Every structure is written in C-alpha cells, then in structure tokens.
Amino acid sequence: MEATAIKHSFTEKANRALGVNEKDAKLTLTYLSVAFIALLIGGVLGLLQGLERAGLLQLPSWLNYYQVLTAHGVLLVLIFTATFVVGYFYAGISHTMGGLIPKVRKMGWVAFGLMVIGVVFVVTTIVMGEASVLYTFYPPMAASPYFYIGLVFIVLGIWTSALGVFTNVMNWRKNNKGQHIPLLSYFAVGVFTLLFFGSLGVTYEVLTLIPWAFGWTETVNVMLSRTLFWSFGHTLVNIWYLTAVSAWYVAVPRIIGGRLFSDTLARVVVFLLVILNIPGGFHHQIVDPGFSEGLKFMHVFMSLSIGFPSLMTAFAMFAVFERAGRKKGGKGLLGWFKKLPFKDVRFLAPFIAMVAFIPAGAGGIAQTNNQLNQVVHNTLWVTGHFHLTVGTSVALTFFGIAYWLVPHMAKREFTPRMNRLGIIQTIIWTVGMLFMSGAMHTVGLFGSPRRTSYSTYGDNATALGWDPYLILLAIGGTLLIIAVVMMVYIVFYLMFKAPKGETEFPIGEPEDNAAPTPMWTERWGLWIILMLAVVAMGYVIPLVDLIVNAPPGSPPFKTW
C-alpha cells in the first residue's frame, strides 16, 4: 500500500511541475463553453415554457410551445450534458494519465466537429419548425430527414470521443503494466462504454427513420423504434449520473480534506452500473401495449437493481463526510456534520446534489413499480422527477465541477468573490428547483399531463384546479433563470477574466491503511460480456416479439 501512496503523490507532483497541458485545456474549455451556452439558451426556453404553462404568457404565433419544448429537451439533455461529459472526462484523463496522447486529442477535436455539425442540423430544423417532435422523436410523427441526419452526426461524435477515451486508456495500460487505471479514468471507461453500447439501438432506429422521412420507405415499426429509443434514453440518464458520481467519489473527498471511502467500492459501483443499466429503459414503457405483464414484472427487477449501487454510494458519501468531519474535531453523534466546509461552493453544490438524490431516488423507485407508474406516467410528476435528478443532482454536480475545472484548465484562480457568488447561485437554484419540481410532482399526482401547453380543457373544473400549482412552477422557473445566468457568468469569468494563477484539480487519495484494490476490478472484458448478457436477458425476447409479430407499419405524419 505504501507504494501506491507514494506513487499517487508522485503523479501529483509531476502534474504540478508540468502544469496543465495547454492543448488539452483548450479542448476541454471548448466543450465546456458549448455546454454552458446550451444551458443558457435551454434555460431561457425553459422559463418561456414555465410561464406559458401557468397561463402567464402567450407565445407569439411564430414560436410554438412544442417547438420550444423540443429545443429545451435537446439542448439540455443532449447537448449540455454530452458536451460537459466529454470535456470533463477528457480533462480527467489528461490529468490522471499525464496528458492526452496527440492522436486522442485529435479525436477529441474530430468528435467536437461532428457534434457541431449534428447540432447545426438539429437546431436548424427545429427553428424552421420542421422538427417539433420533442427530444424523444417518437414515430410515426416525422421530422425533416435532416433532423435525423443531425442526430447521426451527434452519435458519430460521441463514438469518436469514446474511441479516444479507450485509445488513451489502452495506451496507458500498455505503459503501466500491472497497475490500476486511476479511479477517475476508470469512471471514464465506464461512462464511455455505456455511451457506446447504449447508443447502438437508437442509431439503428434513426437509420430506419431517415429513408422513411425522405419517403423512400413507406412505413416504420413504431413500437420497435420506441423500445430502441428507450434503451438509449435511459442509459443516457445513468451516464450523467455516473459522471456526477465520479466527482462525488473522486473530487469531493479531497475538497473536504478527507480520503476516499474505498477505491474498491467505487470501482464496484462503476462496473455494476455498466452491467445493469441498459435494460432499465423498459420502465418508460410500463403502460405500453405489446408487452406482457410477466415481461414487465421482470423489468421491475431490472430497473430496481440499478438502485442498489446508488444506495451503496449513499452510504459511502456519508461515511466520507463523517470521517472527514471527525478528523477535524467534530464530536458526538452529529458534530462532524458542522465541520463540513459548507462555505466552499465546490463542496456545497455537490452536497445539495447528493441530498436532492434522496427524494429523487425514492421517487424513482416508487414509479418503477408497475401500478404506481400507472398513476404518474406522462403526468407532470415525471417532469418533476427528472428536474430533481438531472436538473438538480446532475446539474448542481456539474456546476460544482466547473468551479474548479474551468479555472484549473484556464490557469486562473477561483476567487473568493466567485465562491460567494457560487454559493448564492447554488441556493437560488435549489430554491427554484424546490418550487418547480415540488409543484410539478404535486400537480402531476392530480393528473396534469406533461408535454402540454396551457389548457383548461374548456374550463373543466379539474383542470382549473391545477392552476395554482402551475403558478408555483412558474415562480420556480423564474428563480432558476436567474441562477442560470449567474452560473454562465461565473463560468466565463473563470475562463477569461479571473486573475492568473492556479486552481487544484482535486483528486482524493485512499486512506493510509486502505486495503489494496484487487486486480479483478480491471477485467473490463468480463464486465462487457456480463453487460451484454444482461442486455440479452432484458431485450432479446421483446425485440424478437416486436419484429416477428409486428403489425403493418405506420406512414409518416406531420401533425404540427
């Protein structure tokens, strides 16, 4: 163990001496710039939706609610998250593996180029009103074929970035035989493995939609498309989550002056999430026709099993906090809690993210149970749920990362003023999400549907009863946009304006007496085989059924 500890501080010193690799920094900062611009635009659109839904604002005739909602979904769940994930992990690999190898850096740029081309196609078709199909683009609603072509470019970009990660890691392993890959890079391998395998199904879907949208093929298999979409959609959710968790395990212990909870446990959580994840997509289809009750029941287990590694994480986090707090002299049952650095936004933001994950995870477990899902499916409850998970747990962690990653890469200081501003930002975001998500959850239980512009359904009494909650939703949205603007300001200030200097890339170290991590955790080949086996268990029967017993397909419709 001694040896690894020494090794750790050695890489640490080497990094400090060499400093940030400037070429790698440029790549990451470019990705992060796009991420936060997407957040800004997406946030403004979110506010418009919030105000519209509350009946406070009427959108002009040239700006349709569903066009706005399509853009909001695509910008935030696809572009903001994807660009952040790539930028962050490329930085993580550069930092923990002694710089990106030049070939990989080039792949990073090619990936960026492909994504930009894709985004241009997608955004243009949305703005032209040719793709108001929401980010789920369920057929037989058909967008312009160029919308789907844009999606293909985005996927190609993602695959290229994944290939870059694998190339760099394999190169490092060749040069560091018999060693564990650094924990943060281990997370990166997990995330990009999921990104690659998780996007295979949706890519097939999109490739069938292109000729159909051009009119070259007549019909498309609607249920098959939907099922393939969710095999990806759900995996994407856990990709962000795993990315956020990487910062909880690796960076947060360092920021609070503690140590890793357990290097082994962190790696177990990573590969468990990779193995178990993909069939979870079925929980988006619990009230669909075409699948038997037995199959849906099996999938309850498939979805809930993903909860297990999350609960392991919950324990690990609080254990790290307690140890760090006690080391700083916290006494008694809860004295350690007060010793935590709540005035450091690099901790506060991910801490609130973790706390938000408690109700978010509980809600997730609840709505995966078939009969409870039937109560909330496609109501605003679900929208409330993912503004807690993605909008709070993931987004606040990403913000928490940005506070140190951006100045680290830009060779600038994270100033006390930015820290203060960051704390205010975090509080406003949290309160805004409490209002918005709380209102969405509640009114969803009463039956208010998601993805629906303001409607009283002909002054129906039930629908009118939802209005007060929708006003609360709009208030939350207004607070959120303030927080979005602050965050974007902070990021670009740290990138271009903060005083020159150094900011640490926080990497937690194991406890001095930690048991060495067993080598079997590195068996990626095995994890991938297990993952494919689980995917086969979850998907072979329903997919074969959907193909073999398919009804005649559907022609394209443009209903907006």
Partner 1 sequence: MKMHRFEEIWLVLAAGVIILSMVVTGYQTFALGMGPPSNKETIDPQKVDETAPFDEPGVYQIGENEYEVVMTLQIFSFNPGDIEIPAGSTVHFTMTSKDVVHGFQVAGTNLNAMVMPGHIQKITQKFDKPGEYLVLCNEYCGSGHQLMSTTITVK
385 binds Cu ion (CB under 5 A): no
Min dist CB 330 to Cu ion, Å, is 38
Question: With CB cut-offs between 5 and 8 Å by kind, which of ligand HEM, partner 1, Cu ion, none does residue 64 bind?
Answer: partner 1
97 vs 134, beta carbon nearer ligand HEM? 134
Q: Which does 72 bind (CB under 5 to 8 A by kind): ligand HEM, partner 1, Cu ion, none?
A: ligand HEM
Interhelix angle 380-388/416-445, rounded to 10 degrees, is 160
Rounded to the nearest 10 degrees, how much is the dihedral formed by the CA atoms of 489, 388, 72, 349? 10
Amino acid identity of 307?
G
Nearer to partner 1, 101 or 543 (CB): 543
> Using an 8 Å Cβ cutoff, are 250 and 183 in contact?
yes
With CB under 5 to 8 Å by kind, the binding choice for 234 among ligand HEM, partner 1, Cu ion, none is: Cu ion
Joined together, the tokens standing for residue 137 give 């683009």
Q: How far apart are CA 76 and CA 36, in angstroms?
A: 10
Please report how close the Cβ of residue 58 comes to partner 1 at its closest, in angstroms.
13
Q: Looking at beta carbons only, is 10 or 315 nearer to partner 1? A: 315
Report H helices in 60-101.
65-73, 81-96
| 234 is a contact residue toward Cu ion (CB under 5 A) | yes
Site for partner 1 in 269-308 (CB under 8 A): 285-293, 296-297, 300-301, 304-305, 307-308
Identity of the residue, 179 or 374, whose beta carbon is nearer to Cu ion in the bound complex: 374
Residue 118, CB half-sphere, CA atoms under 13 Å: how many? 21
The one of ligand HEM, Cu ion, partner 1, none whose footprint includes residue 50, by CB under 5 to 8 A per kind, is: ligand HEM
Spatial neighbors of 470 by CB under 8 A, at least 6 apart, are: 53, 54, 55, 439, 443, 448, 454
Given 5, 8, 66, 210, the residue binding partner 1 (CB under 8 A): 66
Q: Which does 477 bind (CB under 5 to 8 A by kind): partner 1, Cu ion, ligand HEM, none?
A: ligand HEM
Q: Percent helix, strand, coil in the chain (nearest 5)?
A: 75, 0, 25
Instruction: State the binding partner of 559 from Cu ion, ligand HEM, partner 1, none, CB within 5 to 8 A by kind.
Output: partner 1
SS3 state of residue 101: coil
125-144 residues in contact with partner 1 (CB under 8 A) are 132, 134, 138, 140-141
CA–CA separation, 347 and 449 (whole Å): 36
In the complex with partner 1, the residue whose CB is nearer, 176 or 453, is 453
| Residue 56 beta carbon to ligand HEM: minimum distance, rounded to whole angstroms | 12
Among 450, 508, 509, 538, binds partner 1 (CB under 8 A): 450
The residues, ordered by sequence, that sit 6+ positions from 538 with a Cβ below 8 Å of its Cβ are 278, 279, 282, 298, 299, 302
Indicate the burial class of 559 (C-beta count within 10 angstroms; 0-12, 13-18, 19 or more).
Answer: exposed
Q: What is the largest CA-CA distance in the chain?
A: 73
The answer to whether 61 contacts partner 1 (rule: CB under 8 A) is no
Q: Which range, of 31-39, 171-179, 189-197, 221-229, touches partner 1 by CB under 8 A?
A: 221-229
Distances (CA, A) of 81 to 243, 331, 375, 395: 10, 40, 29, 9
Of 72, 105, 226, 408, the one binding partner 1 by CB under 8 A:
226
User: Nearest 5 degrees, angle CA 456-CA 461-CA 466?
Assistant: 60
Q: Which stretch binds partner 1 (CB under 8 A): 160-168, 209-217, 237-245, 458-466?
A: 458-466
Q: Which is nearer to ligand HEM, 69 or 104 (CB)?
A: 69
User: In angstroms, what is the minimal distance from the CB of 280 to Cu ion?
Assistant: 6
Please choose, out of 14-22, 58-66, 229-237, 510-518, the segment that lies near Cu ion by the rule CB under 5 A. 229-237
Question: Residue type at 83?
Answer: T
Residues 346-405 touching partner 1, rule: CB under 8 A, are 365, 368-371, 373-375, 377-379
Q: Give the pair of three-digit tokens for residue 217.
A: 């093929």
Alpha helices, DSSP H only, in 199-262?
200-214, 222-255
Binding residues vs ligand HEM (CB under 6 A)? 43, 46-47, 49-50, 53, 69, 72-73, 76-77, 80, 134-135, 383, 386-387, 390-391, 395, 450-452, 477, 480-481, 484
Shortest distance, position 286 Cβ to ligand HEM, whole Å? 17
Least separation, in Å, of the C-beta of 391 and ligand HEM?
Answer: 4
Q: How far is CA 541 from the centre of its chain?
A: 29
Alpha helix stretches (DSSP H) within 256-393 = 263-276, 293-327, 335-338, 345-368, 370-376, 380-388
Give CA–CA dist 39/31, Å, rounded.
Answer: 13
Comparing CA positions, the residue from 552, 32, 506 lying closest to residue 258 is 506
Instruction: Output the smallest distance, CB 348 to ligand HEM, in A.
Output: 18
Give 185 or 262: the residue with its C-beta nearer to partner 1: 262
Q: Residues interacting with Cu ion, by CB under 5 A?
A: 234
